[in-house]
Structure 1
Amino acid sequence: MSSLTLLCLPYSGASAMVYSRWRRKLPAWLNVRPVELPGRGARLAEPLHTDLAALARQLAAEQRLTANQPYAVLGHSLGALLAFELVHELQALGCRPPVALFACGTAAPSRREEYDGARLREAKSDAELMDELRTLQGTPEEVLANEELMSLMLPILRADFLLCGHYAYRQRPALCCPLHVFGGEDDRASEEQLLAWRAETQGDFSLEVFPGGHFFIHEHEDRVLGVLSAALEPLRLTA
């Protein structure tokens, strides 16, 4: 049976382990590989990045062996932007393209200015970060009230917001892999901003909008995983 590796990149403030439960829920032929970023999880001792292009280059060097076998890449929010840059960096290293790129929960790279504007360019205070977490509705109040957890999480979130805020879109030849975009009905990214991802590939393109807000990938996990595996199953047979 042909198998595929799925590299999964986390959203702001998160460890890649937010994808760990997917290993139990996706088919056995799909090898879910959460990609941990420096400064969190098992890489807690490493310095946090605030330069997304540099981080993408580092991750590409780390994942280039994985890219010798059939693989796909998925990211949510910050992770989608990083997934896009990672695929470009792997291509620059001469690696094979992924069988598909899944960009979830954010505007296209070319539309970052209107999506984020100046909102994330300056480092935010702890209070501002807490307000942002409440707005995104992805963090339970009991977690927000836990000072020890917040002392670990807020520096990561601050750096991750700067990764987005300092991001500079670069015009490059379009990718050749299929690009599937997932959005939430009540999320901040507009349909136009999501459809703008289409310009980033010469391959097939699709947009799927799910119920829910920014964290629709968790709110409607089974539905998201169903669409994901349906998109990948025919590709694993031809990879």
Structure 2
Amino acid sequence: MLKPLTLFCLPCAGASATMYLRWRRLLPSWITVQPVELPGRGSRMDELPEESYAVLTERLCDELAATMPEHYAFFGHSMGALLAYGITHGLAARTLPLPAALFVSGCAAPNRQDSECYVRIQGQAALIADLRKQGGTPEEVFDNPELLAMTLDLLRMDYRVCGSFRHVPLSPLPIPIHVFGGCADQIEAEKLNDWRLASTLAFTLDWFDGGHFFLRQSEEVFLLALIKRLAESLIEVPHEACATA
């Protein structure tokens, strides 16, 4: 019987943690889905947003470290994957127990990040074009000027976070890293494969039909793979994952 596990889920750029709420009824009972809301959106709308990757990951690390369960894992899609990576290293630096595994989706490895591309996408036209290219935004948002303005403001802030990321060589994490990619996404295979450099343990890369938001376009198949990888992490990782920073 598998141990109960809390899955902390970090949102992609321009989104709220509510993007993961439906998983609570789709994943098995041994997985507790815990969406991580970022400052300045959703239930934290009254807080000032952070626009620095280093500041945001340190803040989230402090918040999560205070209530970390015994068995947990991180999942992040796109920007959320980069945040999950930073938080995990923050926990390692504090010599705190690490997650059973790190699950990253639709995100190039840290050493393959092109921070400058986010700096270039700041104007309204460029942001709208990028939203349409990614394919994860309902058409109703584009038809509603007020909703579109809110979405663009949030996306602009998040792209500043991504644009402030700077890759610094760090010791590989002593936990498995499981990567998910979309066959039609523009992130090349080698940029996903390089996540293997961030871990000293198991590495997997699973592909799904769809573009950048394959986790919605192929949701059923994707969630089955996620459940499988989560179960493997609980079974295969007997270590007390603590920092070796």
Q: Normalising by structure 1, what TM-score?
A: 0.94
1:173 and 2:171 correspond: yes
Determine the C-alpha separation between the residues in 1 that align with 2:232 and 2:180: 19
- Deviation readout 1:161-203 (Å, 9 max, x if unpaired): 1111121011111001100000001111101110001000001
- Deviation readout 1:188-232 (Å, 9 max, x if unpaired): 110111000100000100001111100001111111111111111
Shift of 1:131: 1.2
Ranges of 4+ aligned residues in structure 1 off by more than 4 Å: none
Range with bigger deviation, 84-93 or 19-28: 84-93
- Deviation readout 1:8-55 (Å, 9 max, x if unpaired): 000010001100000000010000000000111001111122111110
- Deviation readout 1:40-78 (Å, 9 max, x if unpaired): 100111112211111010001110134341100000000
Contact 1:68–1:96 (8 Å) recurs in 2: no
SS at match of 2:212: coil
Give the gaps of 5 or more residues in structure 2.
239-245
Aligned twin of 1:75: 76
Aligned twin of 1:137: 135
Give 2:202's aligned amino acid: D
Range with bigger deviation, 61-70 or 75-84: 61-70
Aligned twin of 1:108: 109
- Deviation readout 1:148-173 (Å, 9 max, x if unpaired): 21222211100111111121011111
Aligned twin of 2:161: 163
Give the gaps of 5 or more residues in structure 1.
none
Aligned twin of 2:203: 205
Aligned length: 236
SS at match of 1:208: strand
Q: Compared with structure 1, are the counterparts of its residues 106 and 235 closer, same or farther at alpha carbon in structure 2 (3 Å cutoff)?
A: closer
Shift of 1:122: 4.5
Determine the C-alpha separation between the residues in 2 that align with 1:68 and 1:8: 14
Give 2:188's aligned amino acid: S
Determine the C-alpha separation between the residues in 2 that align with 1:155 and 1:222: 31
SS at match of 1:67: coil
Contact 1:4–1:31 (8 Å) recurs in 2: yes
Range with bigger deviation, 66-75 or 25-34: 66-75
Give 2:23's aligned amino acid: W
Contact 1:186–1:212 (8 Å) recurs in 2: yes
Contact 2:121–2:127 (8 Å) recurs in 1: no
Q: How does 1:16-27 map to 2 (within 5 A)?
A: 16-27=17-28
Shift of 1:133: 0.6
Range with bigger deviation, 45-54 or 181-190: 45-54
Aligned twin of 2:40: 39
Determine the C-alpha separation between the residues in 1 that align with 2:232 and 2:143: 45
Aligned twin of 1:149: 147
Determine the C-alpha separation between the residues in 2 that align with 1:228 and 1:66: 24
Determine the C-alpha separation between the residues in 2 that align with 1:234 and 1:140: 34
Give 1:124's aligned amino acid: Q
Aligned twin of 1:94: 95
